[in-house]
Amino acid sequence: MQMEHSAGVVTAERLDRPPTPARHLSSDTTRAAMRVQNEVLRAVRAFLADEGFVELLPPVIGPVTDPGTRGSKQLDVDYYGHRYKVMTSGILYKQASLLAFDKLFFVAPNVRAEPPETCSTRRHLAEFHQIDLEVAGAGQAEAMALAEQLLVHVVRQVLVAVPDQLDLLGRDPAGFAGLLDGPFDVLTHRQAVAALHALRHPQSPDTEIAWTGEELLSERADRPFFVTDYPKGSRGFYDRESRTEPGRLCNFDLIAPGGYGELVSGSEREADYAAIVTRMRETGENPAKYLWYLDVIRGGIPPSAGFGMGLERLTRFLTGLPSVWQVNAYPKIPGEVAP
């Protein structure tokens, strides 16, 4: 259990759920984590601006949202008599925004009603933020390279700009040496499943890596690594299927070492109207719900690739804190009512 110093008094901080808002916001731990997170956002925006990206403000509600929410539920709102969704991800809007810009990003708020049992993972929030970007004409390899470059840039900047905050949190900068030393390793989904089976973990070869298996792989790594090429059916209809290897999706996750788990999830996007409608039906989605999106696709958008990088998960990894709620000013724990 972490000990914190506040007004000269040493107190024990619970890690299973947040304290009261007043205590959380006045905590030295929270202040240090927010200063690190502020530097993360500064570094992200500077890096992407230098790379020619334009930042757009994402929508908060819409007629549909990303269906690939991995077991969580979507929340509804009444929008002038219409049932709208609170955004779980800006993926559909990122694709549409390619009509305006070839390189774009959001710092996007997302809400996912995660199953209450995920409160014990220390890595799930019901309300969180993603650094969400998209690049016209890019493929899987380019998106992976960009995710790696962005992460390395952010880590370097945080180490230079706020080492005092890392020191206050007890995070040793030497722990990032492996991350800064050469390209990240890559495992295919098939290789990751084999590695988990060798650890006697019952991972299905037909589904995405469950968070428990992901944590096992992460705990055994000393630097970030990619998991690529998930099987068709395990991810959303917008992940493009390989043209040369049917059944394989051109997508990836970036996993942090030390048990911190997934930081990034991304893919090449399907941009063909007929293929998207077919994939929607294969995944049990009703195309009629996606009329505005399909109208955009039918009119023609460029092929692209992109990813979402979890801001709170990244901040937790940088700070070394045990629970993701500790790096959110107003944390929403799955299953619990909160301000």
Whether 229 has a pLDDT exceeding 80, the answer reads yes
The model's confidence at residue 3, banded by pLDDT at 50, 70 and 90, is very low
Strand order in the sheet with 127-136: 54-55, 103-111, 127-136, 304-310, 261-268, 251-256, 225-228, 185-188
Q: What's the pLDDT score for residue 6?
A: 37
Structural domains in the chain? 16-327 (3.30.930.10)
Q: What's the pLDDT score for residue 19?
A: 87
What span, in angstroms and rounded, lies between the C-alpha atoms of 43 and 239? 28
Question: 3-6 and 9-12 as β-strands: parallel, antiparallel, unpaired?
Answer: antiparallel
Whether 13 has a pLDDT exceeding 70, the answer reads no
Whether 222 has a pLDDT exceeding 50, the answer reads yes
The per-residue pLDDT for range 106-161, each reduced to its tens digit, is 999 999 888 777 777 788 898 999 999 999 999 999 999 999 999 999 999 999 99
Query: Are residues 240 and 250 in contact, defined by beta-carbon separation less than 8 angstroms?
Result: yes
- Three-state secondary-structure class, residue 339: coil
Instruction: Tell me the average pLDDT of the chain.
Output: 92
- Which secondary structure element, helix H or strand E, spans residue 266, and what is its range? strand 261-268
What span, in angstroms and rounded, lies between the C-alpha atoms of 133 and 101? 11
Q: What's the pLDDT score for residue 69?
A: 63
Alpha helices in 62-132 (DSSP H): 91-97
Give the rounded distance of the alpha carbon of 323 from its chain centre.
16
Query: Are residues 317 and 224 in contact, defined by beta-carbon separation less than 8 angstroms?
Result: no
Q: What's the pLDDT score for residue 1?
A: 34
Question: 225-228 and 185-188 as β-strands: parallel, antiparallel, unpaired?
Answer: parallel
The per-residue pLDDT for range 41-95, each reduced to its tens digit, is 999 999 999 999 999 999 999 999 988 666 788 999 999 999 999 999 999 999 9
Q: What is the SS3 string spanning 116-140?
A: HHHHHHCCCCCEEEEEEEEEECCCH
The per-residue pLDDT for range 257-283, each reduced to its tens digit, is 999 999 999 999 999 999 999 999 998
Q: What's the pLDDT score for residue 114?
A: 83
Q: Which of 331, 307, 325, 319 is nearest to 149 (CA)?
A: 307
Whether 9 has a pLDDT exceeding 90, the answer reads no
The per-residue pLDDT for range 277-319, each reduced to its tens digit, is 999 999 889 999 999 999 999 999 999 999 999 999 999 999 9
Q: How many CA atoms lie within 13 A of 46 on its CB side?
A: 12
Q: What's the pLDDT score for residue 5?
A: 38
